[in-house]
Structure 1
Amino acid sequence: MEPHFRLVCIGCGQRYNPDEMVYTCRRCGDLLTVDYDWSRLEDGEEIRRVWARRPRLSVWRYRELLPVLNEDNIISLGEGGTNLYDCRRLGAAFGLRELQVKNEGENPTGSFKDRGMTVGVSRALELGARGVICASTGNTSASLAAYSARAGLHCLVVVPAGKIALGKLAQAMMYGAKVVAVNGNFDDALSLVMDACTKLGLYLLNSVNAYR
């Protein structure tokens, strides 16, 4: 299938093909973003009808807008479609006519990170990664561990020693991730991960990855 998206550097405009495992621009070092060819979408009204016919309310209901080439590679745990709750008393306290709160804790691992991780791990599978890696102090570790387990990929989580939410650490370990604690802060852990992903042949799934 012809790709409907490319990676583009936000700094210099350098473009990269979807089959390249790249996280930052090789020319200038800046971050990348996903650039879509919207002209390939069906007519606006027709695509809305397609989405409306899909019964499950999740991020993949709108899969035409997401960077996956083959639907067989989609790794999902039912993320998205979280509920909105009316907060009348709180709204009144702030002088608001209406206030609604969206509870992202209803996502599979209890975090909004699942919305991006479903796409990131799906891309990892599509790119032929043998494993995934991240640095984390909490939600990212649990989310990546869960989705990589669903995909059957090895998962390595690097955490700053003593600086991770214990509940999330327990989640990551229960999902089967290998967790390594290092001295320093999150930035130190991320620096190590950025170096290790290439040397170990693992797919990086911190937010520096444009697909996540």
Structure 2
Amino acid sequence: MAYQECINCKNKYDIDEIVYFCKRCGDLLEIKYDYRKIIAELNKSNWENAPLSVWRYRDFMPVKDFAKIVSLQEGGTGFHHSRHLSKILGISQLFVKNEGENPTGSFKDRGMTVGVTKAVELGVRSVICASTGNTSASLAAYAARAGLKCIVLIPSGKIAYGKLSQAMIYGAN
């Protein structure tokens, strides 16, 4: 139901193929979905009664083995009524989500649970990212939970020190 596709030449790759760029043209890949197939096979009862988490929507994830989910209980952040912003926008009731309630204090945790779960599913032993903040902290946290080695590349002098220390606490190199 999910596959990788080159953003330039549209060459396709299996979702389980470990490929970092298009073999034909060298451009970036993105995850694409066959939504018709997903809808045809969708079991709403799987997610209607599921806990509040990104994994509630697992039918839409590029993951096959749900026994390998790497989670820190991300998602399910609360709704907060924003009276001031409602008034400014002329909306009677506006609710916002506070993504700072996620495990590492960032919305990045929602995607990282999926990315690290896929890495575990593919059998990788280490993960790496280039980041100046939230991505490095989130990857380090999920890698630690999964027992993976984590490497963070940081541009010199361009780091949020709180996030760097967070990544280091989780064991990132």
Please give the TM-score of this superposition, normalised by the length of structure 1: 0.76
Aligned to 2:113: 118
Q: Counterpart amino acid of 2:4? A: L
- In structure 2, how many angstroms separate the alpha carbons of the residues matched to 1:66 and 1:24? 20
Report the counterpart of residue 65 of structure 2 in structure 1: 70
Number of the residue aligned with 1:53: 49
Query: Do structure 1's residue 88 and structure 2's residue 88 form an aligned pair?
Result: no
- SS in structure 1 at match of 2:167: helix
Partner Cα distance (1:35, 1:89) in 2: 38
Which residue identity is paired with 1:96?
Answer: I
Q: 1:21 aligns with which of 18, 21, 28?
A: 18
1:11-39 residue CA offsets vs partner (Å, 9 max, x unmatched): 21111122321122121222222222344
- Counterpart Cα distance in 2 of 1:154 and 1:97: 48
Q: After TM superposition, give the deviation of residue 43 of structure 1 in Å.
A: 5.0
- Aligned-pair distance for 1:88? 1.2
What does the per-residue CA deviation read over 1:137-160, in whole Å, with 9 as the maximum and x for residues that have no partner? 000110000000000000011111
Identity %: 58
Return the match for 2:34 from 34, 37, 46. 37
Which deviates more from structure 2 when the two are superposed, residues 155-164 or residues 15-24? 15-24
Is this contact kept in 1: 2:5–2:30, CA < 8 A?
yes
- Mapped to 2, the partners of 1:33 and 1:134 lie a distance apart of 17
TM-superposition CA deviations, 1:89-115 (whole Å, max 9, x none): 332134332222211111110001111
Cα distance in 2 between the residues matched to 1:136 and 1:36: 27
Q: Which residue of 2 aligns with 1:6?
A: 3
Q: Please, what TM-score do these two structures have when normalized by structure 2?
A: 0.92
How far apart, CA to CA, are the structure 2 residues paired with 1:33 and 1:169?
28
For 1:50 and 1:133, the matched residues in 2 are separated by 32
Mapping for residues 101-116 of structure 1, pairs under 5 Å: 101-116=96-111
Assess, with a 3 A threshold, how the Cα gap between structure 1 residues 161 and 86 changes in structure 2: closer, same or farther.
same
Compare relative contact order (CA 8 Å, sep 6+) and give the higher one, 1 or 2: 1
Is the 8 Å Cα contact of residues 46 and 56 (structure 2) preserved in structure 1?
A: no
For residues 4 and 16 of structure 2, what CA distance do their matches in structure 1 show? 10
Aligned residues: 173
Provide the C-alpha distance between the structure 2 equivalents of 1:40 and 1:90, rounded to a whole number of angstroms: 39
Unaligned runs of 5+ in 2: none
State how far apart, in whole Å, the 1-side matches of 2:39 and 2:119 are. 27
1:141-152 mapped onto 2 (5 Å cutoff): 141-152=136-147
